[in-house]
């Protein structure tokens, strides 16, 4: 496809007037017309750059160079399609009603210890009188882990370790340390990667809430979402993951 054909297609698809495109590009109407009609097959580089800039295109795409097969409109359409496809995949993925094995474990922090604060329950979660930290028992055998400065600055005051590959799509691999900022309000953690307790077991998942319905999403299609009603299932939101050891390898 010649440069004139490409220009004509873009102008027609966007419903533009050729004279307006010439005005935006700062080139004479006649110059643009000769390019579009194919009379001028090899316009000057400066002219091509002006036209490409006016239409938010790349010079490479206008000239048909290899590696520039998609213009900006094509890429935007593809991004919208990918986003829609991902939403469809999540919406149609079978839900998991049973409890999968825990995929996170708490780690002792050293040498600095975080302030002792117990996150509140979700608004309709069954209450528990005990501190959620008691769920992890004695961790004296764990080697102490320092929270990196960049994550401490983001509020991280807890460390967990990921188990398994259920979050591999978010670059969280088996054995990665997760640096967590305590957060008690599920509304402030919506669509974020979180650490939470479900029936006393810790999980790292992406949180999605709709009313009283809790969905804990994995980023590996082999692991269906965990779905439950927060009015009938005891759960605690512990905090939001602000970084992992994977990010600083």
* Alpha-carbon dihedral sign for residues 70, 72, 74, 78: positive
- Please check whether residues 65 and 108 belong to one and the same domain: no
Q: Write the DSSP symbol of residue 134.
A: G
| Number of other CB atoms surrounding residue 199 within 10 Å | 10
- Please check whether residues 29 and 131 belong to one and the same domain: no
How many domains is the chain built from?
Answer: 2
pLDDT in tens, 52-78: 888 888 888 778 776 555 556 666 666
User: Is 99 within a domain?
Assistant: no
- Please check whether residues 83 and 205 belong to one and the same domain: no
- CATH number, position 32: 1.10.260.40
**Average pLDDT for residues 98-103, to the nearest whole number?**
76
Q: Which two tokens stand for residue 209?
A: 């809430």
Q: Which domain holds residue 53?
A: 3-91
Enter the pTM of the model: 0.53
What 3-state DSSP class applies to 6?
A: helix
Confidence (pLDDT) at 211: 83
Least confident of 16-20, 50-54, 56-60, 230-234: 56-60
Q: Which residues of 16-50 are buried (b: 16+ CB within 10 A; e: fewer)?
A: eeeeebbeebebeeebbeebbeeebeebeeebbeb
Last residue of a domain, one of 57, 91, 125: 91
- Please check whether residues 168 and 214 belong to one and the same domain: yes
Mean of all residue pLDDT scores within the chain: 78
- Please check whether residues 152 and 200 belong to one and the same domain: yes
What are the C-alpha distances in Å from 215 to residues 84, 107, 145, 195, 228? 19, 25, 30, 13, 7
Closest CA to 209 of 186, 180, 225: 186
pLDDT in tens, 195-206: 999 988 899 999
- Please check whether residues 80 and 127 belong to one and the same domain: no
């Amino acid at each position: 496809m010649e440069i004139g054909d490409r220009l004509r297609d873009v102008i027609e698809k966007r419903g533009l007037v050729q004279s307006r495109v010439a005005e935006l590009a700062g080139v004479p109407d006649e110059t643009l017309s000769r390019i579009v009609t194919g009379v001028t097959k090899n316009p000057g580089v400066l002219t091509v750059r002006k036209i490409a800039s006016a239409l938010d295109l790349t010079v490479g795409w206008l000239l048909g160079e290899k590696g520039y097969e998609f213009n900006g409109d094509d890429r935007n359409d593809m991004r919208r399609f990918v986003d829609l496809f991902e939403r469809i995949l999540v919406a149609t993925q079978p839900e998991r009603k049973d409890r999968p094995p825990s995929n996170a474990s708490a780690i002792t922090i050293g040498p600095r210890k975080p302030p002792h604060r117990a996150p509140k329950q979700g608004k309709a979660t069954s209450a528990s009188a005990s501190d959620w930290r008691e769920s992890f028992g004695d961790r004296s055998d764990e080697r102490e882990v320092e929270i990196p400065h960049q994550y401490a600055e983001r509020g991280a005051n807890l460390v967990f370790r990921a188990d398994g590959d259920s979050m591999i799509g978010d670059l969280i691999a088996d054995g990665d340390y997760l640096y967590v900022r305590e957060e008690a309000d599920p509304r402030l953690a919506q669509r974020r990667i979180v650490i939470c307790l479900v029936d006393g077991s810790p999980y790292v998942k992406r949180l999605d809430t709709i009313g009283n319905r809790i969905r804990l999403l994995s980023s590996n299609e082999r692991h269906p979402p965990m779905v439950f009603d927060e009015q009938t299932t005891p759960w605690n939101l512990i905090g939001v993951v602000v970084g992992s050891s994977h990010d600083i390898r």
